[in-house]
Amino acid sequence: MQRMARTWLQTGEKRDSSSVVCHQCNGWHGRGYKPAKNAVSTCDNRNNECSTQQYCVKIIDPIDPDAHYVTFKSDCWYQTTIVTNTTVTATVMNKKCYTWSDGGTPPKQYLYCFCNDKDFCNAAEPKSFSFFIFGLSLLLIFK
């Protein structure tokens, strides 16, 4: 799964060694997302950006394994840790994804993917992202 998530982590160019510029937007990838017929992803606008000295993050909501799309939020992350559930805190690492769960029944889960090696590294290329959706679906089915 980490290998599949890495495809979207490899775009952009880093401008400054002390900070990274990130996409700051909401979007979706895949087929069947109903608002896509009337709306434009805010990620299509490169002016939607933020800057951080820590990480860019892409927070992916897998919806459900039967959906052919995922929604996501790209943003800046200003910390070096993430609380993945009510009791576990993990140290964030570059080009690594973490599953966050609310602990509910059924649990709501999101995938947090981090990068800080290039500007706009939390962007996604739609053609390579389909492999990521497939891998994420397998992860949720067999978990």
Amino acid at 26: N
pLDDT digits (tens, 9 = 90+) for 83-126: 998 889 999 999 999 999 988 888 889 999 999 999 999 986 54
**Angstrom distances, CA of residue 86 to CA of 1, 83, 111:** 23, 7, 16
Q: What is the pLDDT of residue 4?
A: 35
Q: CA torsion 136→32→67→28, rounded to 10°? A: 40
76 or 65, which is more confident: 76
The domain of 98 spans: 2-141
36 or 10, which is more confident: 36
Q: Considering the entire predicted model, what is its pTM?
A: 0.72
Rounded Cα–Cα distance for residues 123 and 79 (Å): 20
61 or 133, which is more confident: 61
Q: How many domains does the chain have?
A: 1
